């Protein structure tokens, strides 16, 4: 089922025409209204009239997170402050948060793209949608909330945390759709089990999960434990929040809301464009945003695009599930390591629980990696010899995927801290 069939299933020619028209208007708007962009475009010798085709996009310089930081808090806003009706922010690992502002139209666009997201996940009017993403400066809670209201579902705005209450609501309200991070969904499943509640008896049907990288193996695990169809949704505060792209029931890539967000893939090192099917860094231009429109924003997430037809009938470009950010990538003794590679190995090993923490250290100028892996309850009560065998097996598997030596430490069930929002998977103790 589509929320907006005309936009989601639009022919490519018509879509590109619309994108070009919107791109021209956008460049004109930021040139006139944002001094930062006027300078950037002038330095690159671009005037609004220079944009005549979608290919001309390549001439426009990139915008980065550093540009947002340098113009903190409102310097990149393209409308007077009295047209801004909402402010969100995301806290990065360094310094000041990244701040974004929404006009009334932006909030409507956001509800529209989130309505599409929820419908493509399989939600509809009549559903009871429990929003366990954080409400607040984080965009997850309110983004899902507005989309759920738009499709006419009943929203339960519980926000994150208070796991006991979450489970009570799942049971008593007969929640049919859960929106949360995948790591929290897994935690909820475990916590329900501990309380002797059979997740099979819940009315839950669909999980709308995102905000952090997760693997297909974790999807299978959550689907098994929570008895839902788990859908991956993607977005980031700078672009709009959740609602940039989402899977459909075919679960074969995330459909990008291309009439609002124009995607490109580039080589992260050189900035050169990469064609469909080749992995690289995602770059997005916000075609319709008013509050803080961004030209060629370097998202830092690694993915690849396809424009092949999808069995669901949507015609928009799809992005492959994001397995990590280019800045999450660990370089261990010269080898690139993504936490998701480790996750996919661990989830193939029955004795390992899907909870892990990666410690990175530097010992005598050599980088080392130690993965703490929780073992399942049954396994833990077994003999030491058995544990040593499992540890060895995990090490061999992880090493064969990464191509470098690692240490594995099996830890007690439930000893790794569970997260209610985005999971912390890596603790890097190297002095930078």
* 77 or 234: CB nearest ligand DLL: 234
Q: Could you say which residues in the range 280-339 bind ligand DLL, by CB under 6 A? A: 299, 301, 322, 325
Q: Could you say which residues in the range 89-108 bind ligand DLL, by CB under 6 A? A: 90
Q: Count other C-beta atoms under 10 Å from residue 303's C-beta.
A: 23
Output b/e per residue, 200-232; b: 16+ Cβ within 10 A: eebebebbbbbbbbbbebbbebbeebbbbbbbb
Which own/partner contact pairs does 358-365 have at CB distance under 8 Å and 24+ positions apart?
358/330, 358/425, 358/426, 358/427, 359/427, 359/429, 360/330, 360/332, 360/426, 360/427, 360/428, 360/429, 360/430, 361/429, 361/430, 362/429, 362/430, 362/431
- Residue 242 as a binder of ligand DLL (CB under 6 A): the answer is yes
- Listed ranges 159-167, 169-177, 208-216, 362-370: which one lies at the site for ligand DLL (CB under 6 A): 208-216
Which member of 8, 106, 232, 351 binds ligand DLL (CB under 6 A)?
232
Q: Could you say which residues in the range 144-183 bind ligand DLL, by CB under 6 A? A: none
Shortest gap between Cβ of 77 and ligand DLL (angstroms)? 17
Shortest gap between Cβ of 325 and ligand DLL (angstroms)? 5
For residues 401 and 421, give the distance between their C-alpha atoms in angstroms, rounded to a whole number. Answer: 28
Give the DSSP H/E element, type plus range, for residue 218: helix 216-226
* 3 or 141: CB nearest ligand DLL: 141
* 28 or 212: CB nearest ligand DLL: 212
Q: Count other C-beta atoms under 10 Å from residue 8's C-beta.
A: 21
- Return the structure tokens found at 192: 């329900």
Alpha-carbon radius of gyration of the chain: 22
Kindly state the DSSP code that residue 6 receives in the 8-state scheme: H
Shortest gap between Cβ of 299 and ligand DLL (angstroms)? 6
Name the closest residue to ligand DLL (Cβ): 210
* 137 or 154: CB nearest ligand DLL: 137
- The count of C-alpha atoms lying within 13 angstroms of the C-alpha of 410, restricted to the half-sphere facing its C-beta, is 26
Which member of 171, 212, 223, 382 binds ligand DLL (CB under 6 A)?
212
Shortest gap between Cβ of 303 and ligand DLL (angstroms)? 9
* 127 or 391: CB nearest ligand DLL: 127
Which member of 19, 120, 130, 139 binds ligand DLL (CB under 6 A)?
139
* Binding site residues, ligand DLL, CB under 6 A: 90, 133, 138-140, 210-213, 232-237, 241-242, 299, 301, 322, 325
């Amino acid at each position: 089922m589509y929320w907006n069939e005309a936009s989601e299933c639009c022919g490519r020619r018509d879509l590109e025409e619309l994108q070009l028209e919107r791109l021209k208007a956008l460049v004109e708007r930021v040139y006139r209204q944002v001094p930062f962009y006027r300078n950037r475009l002038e330095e690159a010798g671009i005037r609004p009239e220079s944009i005549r085709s979608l290919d001309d996009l390549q001439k426009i310089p990139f915008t980065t997170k550093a540009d947002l930081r340098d113009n903190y808090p409102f310097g990149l806003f393209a409308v007077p402050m009295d047209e801004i009706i909402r402010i969100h922010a995301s806290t990065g690992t360094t310094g000041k948060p990244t701040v974004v502002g929404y006009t009334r139209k932006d909030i409507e666009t956001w509800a529209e793209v989130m309505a599409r997201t929820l419908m493509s996940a399989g939600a509809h009017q009549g559903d009871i949608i429990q929003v366990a993403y954080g409400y607040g400066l984080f965009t997850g809670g309110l983004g899902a909330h507005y989309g759920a209201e738009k499709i006419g579902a009943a929203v339960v705005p519980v926000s994150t945390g208070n796991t006991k209450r979450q489970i009570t609501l799942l049971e008593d309200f007969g929640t049919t759709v859960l929106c949360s991070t995948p790591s929290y969904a897994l935690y909820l499943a475990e916590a329900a089990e501990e309380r002797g509640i059979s997740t099979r008896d819940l009315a839950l049907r669909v999980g709308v999960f995102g905000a952090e990288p997760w693997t297909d193996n974790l999807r299978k695990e959550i689907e098994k434990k929570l008895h839902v169809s788990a859908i991956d949704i993607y977005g980031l505060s700078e672009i709009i929040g959740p609602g940039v792209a989402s899977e459909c029931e075919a679960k074969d890539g995330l459909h990008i809301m291309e009439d609002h967000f124009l995607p490109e893939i580039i080589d992260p090192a050189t900035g050169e464009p990469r064609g469909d099917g080749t992995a690289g860094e995602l770059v997005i231009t916000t075609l319709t945003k008013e509050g803080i429109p961004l030209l060629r924003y370097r998202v830092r997430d690694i993915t690849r695009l396809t424009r092949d037809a999808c069995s669901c009938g949507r015609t928009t470009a799809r992005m492959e599930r994001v397995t990590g950010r280019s800045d999450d990538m660990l370089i261990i003794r010269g080898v690139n390591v993504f936490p998701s590679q480790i996750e996919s190995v661990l989830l193939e090993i029955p004795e390992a629980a899907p909870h892990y923490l990666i410690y990175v250290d530097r010992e005598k100028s050599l980088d080392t990696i130690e993965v703490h892996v929780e073992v399942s309850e049954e396994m833990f009560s077994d003999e030491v010899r058995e544990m040593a065998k499992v540890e060895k097996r995990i090490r061999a598997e992880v090493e064969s995927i990464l191509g470098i030596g690692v240490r594995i430490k099996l830890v007690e069930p439930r000893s790794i801290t569970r997260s209610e929002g985005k999971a912390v998977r890596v603790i890097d103790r190297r002095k930078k």
